[in-house]
């Protein structure tokens, strides 16, 4: 009955095993004290050891999918998820589990030195159990890392569009990020809807924060301008740097139907003109009027 | 033309197109390209990477840095195992699209680089090569 053996061994030496295990992790160079406090590591070791002991007490098999192993599974999943996000490497994470072998085998050796056949059997059984725990840890770690990467990729495709009111009826939408994703058009149109609902007469789409303007981006911009026009709002595109202007010419994309300006300031001037407004320098003759009734 | 650096990037998702652009931009800067040259090669790469994803069903980009005497350049090879193109002349024409695009990607990319090559046939995928010298 190997489970009872292992269970008894752990209960008898639990405190020592915890310490030896944590030491083995450290000497394997996998403790990463820059990422995790030594106390936290020791707590993880004692917590997992306790759960392992309980599972061995209740469980007849080493089938980690069984209900008696739930506590162990949850702990391993939690530990590897956290490590993935903390920046532990895969081998550092695997070593957390595998480092338990050394102190465990040592105990088995000293207890069963007189019974070599049983020693071999117990060692084998403990080893396969820890391998299974290691495997689960790695699978979770991998999964967690993929989740992190997927989130980063989504962030890369994000488009940030603050709405800046420049004047009554004049709004600027500084587009920051990529205009690549399939979602771009949806984002832009819902934004326009909002803008139009606010009674905007002129919208300035500023693309200073868009690093690359290719034909897909140009198409998104053209569609947005057309949609705005249908809703009765004029669009001006600003932030067309000289290198972008040249590239657009080579792409052969026709932006003549759209008002484009190099800077937001230039676009603002046009927008003011559209609204029959102008900015004049204040002179003595046109001093600030004294507010009436004060 | 001696090769001085080479990297391969997979193109499987929209985010990969962004990664290709970023990598090309970085290499262009390393090769000493000016802002206009950088923008041209990055934009051309963006067009072809997008086609590789949208029409080729994904593929890869091989980015190479070359030095030819004192000239420094970038050679970018995009390949996919997608359906291929039946009539390359037609695909190259501005305004031709089968995907609801502007149809200026291939022609535009060609005008943005110094050397352009496309190899494609129905059933055997597509390979586009872009070269630009500093
Ligand atoms: N890698 C490819 N595999 C298959 N067909 C392609 C590929 N690249 C381009 N094409 C075809 O060539 C056409 C023109 O491409 P392009 O000039 O980039 O314009 P757009 O992407 O706007 O359609 C595409 O619509 C498509 O039919
Ligand atoms: Mg295209």
Q: What is the DSSP string of A133-198?
A: HHHHHHHHHHHHHHHHHHHHHHHHT-EE---EEEETTEEEEEEEE---STTHHHHHHHHHHHHHHT
**How much is the average pLDDT of B37-53?**
98
Residue nearest to atom 8 of ligand 1 (CA): B51
**How much is the average pLDDT of B56-85?**
95
- Domains in chain A (CATH in brackets) are 3-154 (1.10.490.10), 164-274 (3.30.750.24)
The ipTM of this complex is 0.96
Instruction: Assess B14–A contact: CB distance below 8 Å, yes or no.
Output: yes
Where does residue A270 rank: exposed (0-12), middle (13-18), buried (19+ CB within 10 A)? Answer: middle
Lowest mean pLDDT among A88-97, A98-107, A176-185: A176-185
**Stated pTM of the model:** 0.73
Contacts of B36 in chain A (CB under 8 A): 242-243, 246
Is ligand 1 within 6 A of the CB of residue B128?
A: no
Q: Is the pLDDT of residue A108 over 90?
A: yes
Q: Is the pLDDT of residue A281 over 80?
A: yes
Distance of CA B121 to the CA centre of its chain: 18
CA of B93 to the centre of ligand 1 (A): 10
pLDDT category, B23, cuts 50, 70, 90? very high
CATH assignment of the domain containing B126: 3.30.565.10
Q: Is the pLDDT of residue A89 over 60?
A: yes
- In this structure, which ligand is nearest to the CA of B96? 1
CA of B64 to the centre of ligand 2 (A): 22
Q: Is the CB of B17 less than 8 angstroms away from the CB of A243? A: no
Higher pLDDT, residue A197 or A256: A256
Domain around B128:
3-133
**Alpha-carbon gap, residue A262 to A131, rounded angstroms:** 62
- Structural domains of chain B, count: 1
Q: HSE-up of A94 (CA within 13 Å, CB side)?
A: 10
In terms of CA atoms, which chain B residue is nearest residue A157?
B15
Mutation site, A251, A253, A254, A258, interface B, largest B CB count within 10 A: A251
Q: Is the CB of B21 less than 8 angstroms away from the CB of A212? A: yes
Higher pLDDT, residue A160 or B115: B115
**How much is the average pLDDT of A90-109?**
94
Is ligand 1 within 6 A of the CB of residue B51?
A: yes
CA of A242 to the centre of ligand 2 (A): 23
Distance of CA A87 to the CA centre of its chain: 13
pLDDT in tens, A32-82: 989 899 999 999 999 999 999 999 988 666 788 888 999 999 999 999 999
Q: Is the pLDDT of residue A294 over 60?
A: no
Q: Is the CB of A156 less than 8 angstroms away from the CB of B39? A: no
Q: Is the CB of A247 less than 8 angstroms away from the CB of B13? A: no
Closest atom, ligand 1, to C-alpha of A216: 22
Residue nearest to atom 24 of ligand 1 (CA): B97
Q: HSE-up of A289 (CA within 13 Å, CB side)?
A: 3
- In this structure, which ligand is nearest to the CA of B126? 1
Q: Is the pLDDT of residue A1 over 50?
A: no
């Amino acid at each position: 009955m190997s489970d009872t053996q292992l269970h008894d061994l752990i209960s008898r030496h639990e405190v020592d095993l915890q310490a030896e295990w944590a030491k083995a992790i450290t000497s394997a160079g996998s403790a990463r004290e820059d990422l995790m406090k030594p106390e936290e590591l020791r707590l993880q070791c004692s917590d997992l050891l306790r759960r392992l002991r309980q599972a061995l007490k209740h469980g007849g098999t080493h089938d980690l999918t069984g209900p008696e192993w739930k506590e162990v599974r949850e702990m391993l999943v939690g530990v590897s998820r956290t490590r993935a996000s903390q920046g532990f490497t895969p081998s550092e994470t695997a070593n957390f589990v595998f480092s338990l072998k050394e102190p465990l085998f040592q105990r088995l050796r000293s207890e069963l030195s007189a019974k070599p056949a049983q020693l071999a059997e117990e060692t084998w059984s403990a080893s396969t159990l820890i391998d299974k725990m290691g495997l689960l840890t790695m699978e979770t770690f991998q999964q967690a890392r993929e989740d992190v990467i997927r989130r980063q990729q989504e962030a890369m495709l994000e488009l940030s569009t603050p709405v800046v009111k420049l004047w009554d009826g004049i709004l600027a939408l500084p587009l920051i990020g990529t205009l690549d994703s399939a979602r771009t058009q949806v984002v832009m149109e819902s934004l326009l809807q909002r803008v139009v609902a606010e009674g905007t007469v002129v919208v300035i789409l500023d693309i200073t924060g868009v690093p690359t303007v290719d034909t897909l981006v140009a198409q998104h911009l053209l569609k947005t301008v057309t949609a705005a026009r249908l809703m009765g709002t004029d669009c001006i595109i600003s932030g067309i740097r000289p290198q972008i202007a040249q590239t657009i010419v080579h792409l052969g994309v026709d932006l003549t139907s759209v008002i484009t300006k190099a800077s937001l300031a230039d676009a603002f001037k046009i927008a003011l003109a559209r609204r029959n407004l102008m900015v004049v320098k204040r002179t003595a003759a046109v001093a600030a009027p004294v507010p009436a009734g004060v | 033309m001696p090769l001085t650096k080479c990297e391969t990037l997979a193109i499987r998702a929209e985010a990969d197109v962004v990664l290709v652009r970023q990598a090309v931009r970085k290499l262009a800067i390393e090769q000493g390209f000016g802002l206009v040259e950088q923008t041209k090669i990055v934009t051309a790469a963006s067009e072809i990477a997008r086609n590789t994803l949208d029409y080729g069903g994904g593929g890869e980009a091989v980015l190479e840095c070359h030095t030819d005497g004192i000239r420094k350049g970038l050679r970018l090879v995009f390949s996919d195992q997608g359906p291929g193109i039946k009539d390359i002349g037609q695909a190259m024409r501005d305004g031709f699209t089968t995907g609801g695009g502007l149809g200026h990607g291939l022609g535009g990319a060609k005008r943005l680089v110094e050397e352009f090559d496309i190899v494609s046939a129905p059933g055997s995928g597509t390979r586009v090569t872009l070269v630009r010298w500093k």
